[in-house]
Amino acid sequence: MEAEVEGSTLHSLQPRPSYSWSPIPFLTNVLSLDNPLFPKTMLPDEQQHKTIDKYPNIEGLQYQPLDTVPIAARKMNKYQSKQDMSLKRLQYLLLGVFRPMDVLGLKISQDVDNPNIQCYLLMLKDSRDLLLNAINPNFSSTASINNHHYTMSPNEFQAALVQQSTTTKAIKTASGFRSKRRPFHPTHPTGQ
């Protein structure tokens, strides 16, 4: 059974029952496929920048991750701020991956003599989609149709944040009333 997208075959590898394939030595060497996918040491920042800077941005495409909504940043506790910074760092590192992929897409699309262009570009699209989905902070909104998830507009996010803060404050206030009540001491059985 060949993998198909919109009626066209992407590749001849069987997705099932076998999950593996063996690359030719040339591919192993060029792509360093004999190294672990997640190495113990990261590329130094200088090497990352050097690699990314070999590829130009697409004009008009936003590569930078979005800034945290200011009101949300003010409401975050220390742990949430740390998580937010980690997410932003991961998004920043991920943006570097797209520049070479976008240039690869351009180079593939210019190879007009190759009958496999559409298959290659669809595989590249799948890679982009999976990478974008890997680190994508989604919020859900009660206003969303069929409970779909999407990134909220700043105004909607602010309204949801205010509602959550109001609810949290009401719960804390109610909890405070309970703790201020005098404890119940039953009278001594002898009436004294």
Residue 21 belongs to a domain: no
Residue 34 belongs to a domain: no
Residue 74 belongs to a domain: yes
Q: Give the strand pairing for 3-5 and 139-140.
A: unpaired
pLDDT digits (tens, 9 = 90+) for 23-68: 899 999 998 889 888 877 888 889 988 998 999 989 988 887 777 8
pLDDT digits (tens, 9 = 90+) for 113-155: 999 999 999 999 999 888 888 766 554 444 444 444 445 566 6
Query: How many domains does the chain divide into?
Result: 1
Kindly tell me if the per-residue pLDDT of 77 is higher than 80: yes
Domain that holds residue 58: 43-143
Residue 66 belongs to a domain: yes
Q: How far apart are CA 138 and CA 127, in angstroms?
A: 19
- Give the list of residues 6+ apart from residue 134 with CB closer than 8 angstroms, or none: 94
Residue 2 belongs to a domain: no
Residue 81 belongs to a domain: yes
Q: What is the pLDDT of residue 20?
A: 80
Residue 156 belongs to a domain: no
Q: How far apart are CA 4 and CA 15, in angstroms?
A: 11
Residue 103 belongs to a domain: yes
